[in-house]
Every structure is written in structure tokens, then in C-alpha cells.
Structure 1
Amino acid sequence: MNKQREVPVFIIEGTSFLADIDKQVLRQTSDQTKEISFIHDMQDQGAFYHLLYDLDEQRAAKDLFDENRVKVIRVPQMTDLDREGMAIKYGLPPELVMGKSDFEVIVDQAALDQRLNGILPQIDIAGEAFTIDLPLQELRHTQYFFPVISLKSFELTSDGWKYEAFYHPVMKQVVVIDPKLTGFPEGVIKILIPNEIGLDPVATARQYGMDEQELLRRYPIQKELKAEVIPLSETNIPAMIQRNREQLRQEHEKIGRRIRPKHRPHF
């Protein structure tokens, strides 16, 4: 039986906080509702974090409004607070975590270097590579540069985290489903791809004026992007087909009743 790992505790002015690597927060041990975010409540100085701490509320303060009540705290990087936890979280040997900043561990530096040098990310859609160009809102076939798939032809999922569309792998195009269809469209699948943040967090940060490093810490560059393929049998298409067939049957019966003579002639 594996022994449960002991989570390191950091003391701030006599109050103990657990280091939650997954959520990137310090959580007060005596009151789990009180959290201090490494991303939102602290300033990353590279070797450590700068935190304004409210002694009365035992929370992060927005500014140094009262020097008797708010103190400036130097918080170690998570790689120093919980090296083992960071190594487990990001699949690295503990010795490779040592001496690195949180940003260097959380964000793949090789992938970031490529992106900052102008190399656009790619995504696999039904076995073929497409280059992601967010400024142009395009997915371009990486090998042939054509066809081009417009991101505007996708719909956001209800939770806002993915794009979805019906796709024809042979045509390499997003297709529109006929709302009156009575059979499965040949060769069509449904695909799900990440939203803009998941596709290219660097371009998203630049486009919307967001803090690039903060966004990357929350949503690091993904090395291998791949569209999720969903068979039409697992979508709303079967129900649509059944509904359309039933409606067509009812219409035929209605037409049949109209043209059927009320009385048969006698000879």
C-alpha cells in the first residue's frame, strides 16, 4: 500500500498554508476556503514571489493600504516549496526541477521558444496536420497549404472550452448538415478542437491584450494537439433522422388521405 505523500506547509506570520500544486494556490490549513493564488495574488519575481498579506483577514491584500496591517511577504517558488509535487505534476525527475522557476517547469521552454520565434502550432485533424493561424482565424493544411478551414465555421461548445463542427475528411472541409436529412451523410464525422486559448495561448494573449506569462501558466502550450473525433451515431444526428423520417411518414399519410376517394364508385 502506497504511503500518502505529505504536502509541505508554508507559514505566513504564524498561519500555516498548504501548497496546492494542482491549483497553484496556498490554502490555509485551518480554513480551506481561504486561498492565496500564486497567479492572481502574487507577483512572480523569478526566484521568489512578492505577496501583500493582510494580517487581519489572513488573505492577500490588493495594495499596501496600511503598513501596520499589510505586510510584504517573500514566498518561495513552488519548485522550492514542493519539489516532489512539481516533479510528479509535470512528469519530471526531481533533479530536473531543482534550480528552476515555476514558469520554467510549468511551461515547456522548447515549445515556447519555437512559438516566440514565429513557428505556428499544428493540430492533427483526422490524421492530417493543419497549421493554426489565429490572427487570420484559419487552419491551413500544413503540407499543401490548401484547403483552408475557417475557425469561424466552428461553433463553441456550451462550456466555451472547445470548438465543434461536422467535418468531411476527404474534402477536408467543415460541412453543414441538412436539417431535413433522413439518412446519415456519407463520410462525415464530428470533430472537437480546443478553443483559442488551447490552440495557441501565445497568440490569444497578444490578440486580447492579456498577460502572456500569466496565461501560459494557467494554460501551457500543448505539444501534440489532436482533434477529438466523434462518430455521428454519438451525436444528435440519429434523433434528427428519426424525427425527419417520422415527419415525412406523417406527411405522406396526410397526402394519401387527401387523394383517396371517400366512396368507391359502383358499376
Structure 2
Amino acid sequence: MEKEMPIINIEGTDFIVDVMKDELREKANPENVMSIAQMQERGFGNGYSFHYDLNLKNFPNDELFDDDGYNGDMVEVKLPELIKIDPERVAEKYNLTLAEVQNKIDFELRIEPNSPLDLRWNKGILPTLDIAGHTFYVDILMDKLRPKDDFKSKGISFTEISDYYDRDRRAYVIPYNPATREFQQDDVFKMTELPKDTIMVQFPHQATLDVVGWYKKHGNSFFRSQFPALHYEARTLPWEETNVIEIIKRNVAEQLMPKDEFKHIYDTPKENLYRIPTDKERVLPTYEIKGTEFIVDVNQLELREKNNPKNVISIRDMDEKMVEGYDFWYSIKSKNVTTFAEKGANKIEIPDFVKLDPIGMAKKHNIPEDKILGMTDFNLMVNQEAFDKIANNYIHPTIDIAGHPFSVDLRNDRLLPKDDIWSRGIIFPEIKYYYSRKDDAYFIPYNTKTRTFQEVSLNVKEIPQDLIVVKIPHSSILDPITYYKGLHENKSDLLKKVGVHLHTEAKVVPWHHTRFAETIQQNKEQAVKAEQKPSILPKPQETKAVNKSIGRKM
């Protein structure tokens, strides 16, 4: 007579454990079934766990989940290994004796003979990874990728390449030398051209390459669906898919910046604000912020604490609001601007300065007081003629570069030279690596003949002919109206501090003011040293017999 199947009780309900079908079946309702395959393994040999709906007496219904959680009575249930619940039927299922399954776990019994998992788990065969045509063993115990049939190479250490793991790609992206079959880290700050000896390769994390080896070393569990393959292939990346080209361009751009001793020559004001000395002929009005009185100084465009004049909130610390007014984050403790992250920070909104002190603004801008009442800061602080031409008559601002005028065409993202149909001009996306955030400008190599941006190599030994270095302000300064309109702002917004100009002039930076001149000198010196290097003499012939000991040297 066949032995009855074991029964387990889950929250008051009896379930039959059917090892042959890998399922739990409700005793009182055989149609109510829960598959073992849908349960989560709790680590090797620790059984299973699953969520259980007390009303459905089954797995939770996905439709009952929402943003607030599960709309039902749900508990977590733990189930022992099937080998522990019904060892006789487990042995029968896998055609083994009871003695043979005694020290096994469910996971091991499910492994198919000669499958990749069988070869890795039971036979100990290491997975392999092909990198640029050569096979590497994935050796987690030795913490490396070990090249096959190459005892000279030290391989690729997982510890050494840990910083090269890309979380977005979920893979390592490393520089690899096919000749030495090793990871080769170049000094990115000195990189001036694409490496000749290395390529960039991408391959998965070692926990993916060898999930079994990872578990055996670290004890982490993995799901049955994650059975490993035994061979993988690394992908060789085109340079365009890496950041190497960007690094090279940034290194070149860095050399074109003015040296520290010359930087002051090329500094430009960060704002376009009209300031005059404080009016001392009258009592200035005040404005209260969270219980503290501030003097409104429209001549200096600032608020000064009445009881502490050194505590100043300048217009440069405020954000321009759409149409009118300003706002900023305010700290009651410091009585000054702060960040939104500070505990207790308050968002303060204030009117235009012309509303805070109309008399002062009328006097500052020499406008009758009766006319000032209907005006805004925008009317007074922004060049209205320039604004009208650019915003309403669609006239492009211009910039002079080395004596030639260019039209600022932000709709096409470029600077177009006037009266030169053959030049493609200067395209902003092409010079993005030459942008200096500190200067809010681009320092670019410019060809005076073609009137275009021209990339330059750091390996040259002479200053390139027809090339100069020019400083071009950011597009938000050249044409703020079109720039901010492209960001879906109103054409009159965010213009008070930056100002509106119909014409700008690019500054020319002499080569000897840049670090590029020093690089050229270093290239020349290295070339001279290479020419002076003595030739290698041939090895002299041995004239005496040499006694050689028998044996091998390590």
C-alpha cells in the first residue's frame, strides 16, 4: 500500500505536499494549488518562503496591490526543503536510493546531468570569458580573470578594476591591452590622443559570470532561474561609446585656458547691473522679513539689515521671478539667504525694487516720479531698444571674433560668420568640452581663415598656423532672450541680471598666455632627447666557454 503524502498546515488550512508535481494542494479543495516553482528559495538548504493570502488560501492576487500596499490579509510563510518533508518520494522521483539523497538539498537534486550547472556545481569546471579573441578563466577564488595558456600575464584582478564597474551598464568597462592580456590603466589627465596599445572592453560582474563561485565564496543565494552559462564573450567597445574621446578633448581644452597669472585679463563681469553709491540725502525705506527690518538700497540693489548693516542680501543672491519680483531661501537664524535643504528655511518673495522704493528708482534712473509708478524693474534694468529688436523684430545679436562679425543664431545652435557662405561657422554642441563653468565661457581654437572652430592636437611642436584662441561667452549671455525662450520661459523673463546686448566682442587669448605654449616646448625638448639617444650596441661575442648547471631556474 502506497504511503500517504505528507500534510502541512498553513494558517489553519491543511495542504498536501506533492513532491512528484512540486506543488502544495489544499486537502479540502484539490483544485486550489500552489506551485513550488513560484516560491522563493531561502538560500541553499534553507527551504522556501512565499506570501500567503488568508482569504484566498493561495498566493496573493496581483490585482489587489496598489501604491499603498496589498489590499488583503497577507502573511509570509516558510516551507522546509522537500527532501526533509518527504525523503522517500524525493528519492523515487530522482531514481536514487534513500542513502544517496540523505545529504543532498533540493537545489542539487534538480540539477540536470551534463548541464552547465552540473559541470560547474558538481564537476568544478570554471566558466570562461573571451576577451578580444583570448580565453580567460573566471577564477573567483583567486579574485581574477586568469588567461588560458599564458603564464606570463598576471591576468585581470577584480579588485583592481572595481572602480571601473558601470552601474548603468551593469558591467565592467575597462582599458585592456591585448598584447599583455592585462588591464592597463592610463593617466587620463595626460591623455592627448586615442591609445594605440589598449582597447575598451565590457563584460558582466563576476557574480554574473560565475554565480556558483560567487555563492561558494560569499554565501549569497541565487534563484533557480539564474543557472549560469559556462562561456561568455566580452564586447569590444567603439571609442565613441566610451568617455575617452571626451577626456582627450577636455585635456586639450584645459591647455587653452589662460594661465593663472593672466586670468584677470580675461575676467568678465558675471552680471549686468547698474549700481551707484548709496543715496545719503534721504532716509531709505525698509522692508520686513520674518520680523527683521532691512533697509532697501536701490542704488546698490540690495537689502541691508537695519541693526547690522554688514548683513547684506544682494540681488545677485536672489532668483528672478517670472514677470515681476524676486525670491530666495531665507534663514531666520543667520537672517540671510540659505539653501532649501537647511532645516527651517523659508521661501521669501519680495516685490520689484521699483515697488519697494519708487522714489529711489526714479532718482537713480532720472525718471519723473509720476511715470515710475507704472514701471517694473524689467523696464528700468533691461535695454528696451535691444530687447525690442531681438524679441519682436527677430534681429540676431552679433559677436565680433578676431575682426569678423558673427550672427548669434541660437535657433540653429551656432554662430554664423556674416558674408561668408562657405564657412559652417561655430557650432555650440561641437565646442561643449571647451566650456569653462567658472568663466561661463568657451575657450576655443579658432581658424581665422575658415572662420570655424578647429580641434588641435597636444602633440604638435609648433603653434598651428592660422589658429588663435578666443574666449566666447555662453549662449545664455550672447542671446538670453532666445536662450531662455528655448527653455520655455517668457521672452522677458530672467534678463535683469544678465542684461541684453546687440553686440559682443570675443577676447583673443595669445598663445603665450595659455598652458598650450608650455606643452609645445615640452614636445620640442622630448624630440631633441629622442634624437640624442645613443644607438644600442650589439651584444659582444662570448670568448670563453661557460659552465652551465643542470636543472631549471624558477
Q: Which residue of 1 aligns with 2:304?
A: 27
Q: CA deviation at 1:204?
A: 1.3
Aligned alpha-carbon RMSD (Å): 3.8
Q: Which residue of 1 aligns with 2:417?
A: 141
Distance 1:72 1:262 in 2: 84
Cα displacement (A) at 1:214: 3.8
Cα distance in structure 1, aligned partners of 2:407 and 2:480: 14
Whole-angstrom CA distance in 1 between matches of 2:407 and 2:455? 23
What is the match of residue 17 of structure 1?
Answer: 295
Is the contact made by 1:43 and 1:51 (CA closer than 8 Å) also made in structure 2? Answer: no
Structure 2 residue aligned with 1:128: 404
Structure 1 pair 249–43 and aligned structure 2 pair: CA distance change class (3 A): closer
Q: Report how far residue 156 of structure 1 moved.
A: 0.3
2:376 counterpart residue number: 101
Q: Structure 1, residues 42-82: CA drift from partner, whole Å, max 9, x if none?
A: 7865xxx6999x9x77779xxxxxxxxx9998776167252
The 8 Å contact of residues 353 and 377 in structure 2, kept in 1 or not, is answered as: no
**Structure-to-structure mapping, 1:199-214, within 5 angstroms:** 199-210=478-489, 212-214=491-493
Kept in 1, the 8 Å contact 2:444–2:471? The answer is: yes
Judged with a 3 Å threshold, the aligned counterparts in structure 2 of structure 1 residues 178 and 51 are, in CA distance, closer, same or farther, namely closer
Q: TM-score, normalised by structure 1?
A: 0.72
Inter-CA distance 228–8: structure 2 relative to 1 (3 Å threshold): farther
Contact 1:153 / 1:165 at 8 angstroms: preserved in 2? no
- Shift in Å at residue 130 of structure 1? 0.8
Separation in structure 1 between the aligned mates of residue 532 and residue 401 of structure 2, nearest angstrom: 44
Taking structure 1 as reference, are residues 212 and 36 closer, same or farther at Cα in structure 2, changes over 3 Å only?
farther
Distance 1:82 1:246 in 2: 64
Structure 2 residue aligned with 1:116, among 391, 407, 414? 391
SS in 2 for 1:130: strand
Tell me how far 1:167 sits from its aligned partner: 0.9
Equivalent position of 1:67 in the other structure: none
Alpha-carbon distance in structure 1 between the residues aligned to 2:452 and 2:350? 54
In structure 1, what residue type is equivalent to 2:456? I
Instruction: State which of 535, 545, 548 in structure 2 corresponds to 1:258.
Output: 535
Report the counterpart of residue 64 of structure 1 in structure 2: none
Aligned in 2, Cα 1:50/1:167: closer, same or farther, shift over 3 Å? closer
Q: 1:71 to 1:113 in 2, by over 3 A?
A: closer
Whether the aligned pair in 2 keeps the contact of 1:205 and 1:211 (CA below 8 Å) is: yes
Partner of 2:524: 245
Query: How far is the alpha carbon of 1:20 from its aligned partner?
Result: 5.1
Q: Partner letter of residue 246 of structure 1?
A: E
Rounded Cα–Cα distance in structure 2 between residues aligned with 1:200 and 1:9? 35
1:229 CA drift (Å): 0.7
Give yes or no for contact 1:169–1:188 (8 Å, CA) kept in 2. Answer: yes
Report which structure shows greater RCO (CA 8 Å, sep ≥6): 1
Aligned residues: 238
Q: Percent identity?
A: 20
Letter in 2 for 1:132: V
Match for residue 170 of structure 1?
Answer: 449
Q: In the aligned structure 2, how far is the partner of 1:241 from the partner of 1:74?
A: 55
Q: Report if the CA contact (8 A) 1:140-1:146 is conserved.
A: no
Code of the aligned partner of 1:82: G
The runs of 5 or more residues in structure 2 that have no matched partner are 1-276, 338-346, 541-554
Per-residue deviation, 1:260: 5.8
Specify the SS of the correspondent of 1:136. Answer: coil
Distance 1:30 1:213, change over 3 A: farther
- Bigger Rg, structure 1 or 2: 2
List per-residue Cα deviations over 1:70-95 (Å, max 9, x = no partner): 999877616725237743xxxxxx24
Distance 1:182 1:121 in 2: 38
TM-score computed with the length of structure 2 as normaliser: 0.37
**CA–CA distance in 2 between the matches of 1:135 and 1:232?**
32
Contact 2:319-2:327 within 8 A present in 1 as well: no
Shift of 1:258: 2.2
Equivalents in 2 of 1:184, 1:72: separation in Å?
Answer: 53
CA change 1:50–1:81 in 2 (3 A) is farther
CA shift at 1:30, angstroms? 2.2
Partner of 1:91: none
1:215 aligns with 2:490: no
Alignment partner of 2:360 out of 82, 91, 115: 82
Cα distance change, pair 36–10 in 1 and its aligned pair in 2 (3 A): farther
Question: Which residue of structure 1 lines up, in the alignment, with residue 237 of structure 2?
Answer: none
**In 1, distance between residues paired with 2:348 and 2:480?**
34
**Is the contact between residue 129 and residue 143 of structure 1 (CA under 8 Å) also seen in structure 2?**
no
Code of the residue aligned with 1:239 in structure 2: it is E
Please state whether the residue corresponding to 1:216 is helix, strand or coil. Answer: coil
Whole-Å separation in 2 of the counterparts to 1:4 and 1:243:
53
- In structure 2, how many angstroms separate the alpha carbons of the residues matched to 1:126 and 1:187? 12
Which of 151, 154, 158 is the equivalent residue of 2:428? Answer: 151
